[in-house]
Homo-oligomer: A and B are copies of this chain.
Amino acid sequence: MHIVELVKANAPITGEQIAELLGLSRPTLRSDLALLVMLGLIDAKPKVGYTPGVTVTPGSIAAQHLQQIKVKDVQSMPVVIREQSSVHDAVVQLFMEDVGSLVAVDDEGCMTGVISRKDLLKFTLGNTNAAAMPVSMVMTREPNVVHVTPEESVIDAARKMINHQVDSLPVVVSKSSAADGRKRFDVVGRITKTIMTKILLDLAIKG
């Protein structure tokens, strides 16, 4: 890989300079240079010369691939509950749907909060009245809910889950008719660390 190394060390460099440094004739070099450009290992810029291609590493290739996967491509169905529902109903629904958290919504279906296994466990242990309480008393309330939009990349979603230490995010779209000026969201999906684990597995086992 003399040529690629030479270009890396001296970029930009002309074909003539490369030929001179390697002690080769231009015609001998021509097909090698053309092939290296085609393979993306070096770039040819008219009137400038040759520059190194974009470095290819496991990270850069995976990053390129992952940045193209959007939340909407992998999200699962949202699981919602009315905020007036009881804690008992929330626990039942968590088990019925086998999810780690529910999105609480108001009468218009807009997100008002999120309630997780963790929230419910903290609240129910030793609290005999817990089961009858409304979900709205236990949930994390908007605007403290970390969310993601369908057009964000899965990497953005992964970053939010890690930074905010949550196991899932509601996927939301802004409600157009926010008459009172408050931001309101419709819930269109959910994305979880389980989905991230599946993406990692897919990346590793598929071609």
Q: Is the interface of A mostly helix, strand, loop or mixed?
A: helix
Is A117 close to B, CB under 8 A? Answer: yes
Kindly state whether residue A167 has any CB partner on chain B within 8 Å.
yes
Q: In the assembly, what is the distance between CA of A94 and CA of B63, in Å? A: 34
| Copies of this chain, tallied across the complex | 2
Q: Does A91 contact B (CB under 8 A)?
A: yes
Within the complex, the shortest CB–CB distance from A70 to chain B, in Å, comes to 14
Known: A91-B125, A124-B124, A162-B198. A58 touches B61 (CB 8 A): yes
Q: A125-B91, A126-B131 are in contact. Are A162 and B63 (CB under 8 A)?
A: no
The verdict on A201 contacting B158 (CB below 8 Å), with A59-B207, A167-B193, A207-B55 known, is yes
Look across to chain B and name the residue whose beta carbon is closest to the beta carbon of A39. B39
Q: Per a CB cutoff under 8 Å, which of B32, B39, B59, B125 touches A203?
A: B59
Check A204–B162 contact: CB distance below 8 A: no
* A17 contacts B by Cβ under 8 Å: no
**A144 at interface (Cβ–Cβ under 8 A)?**
no
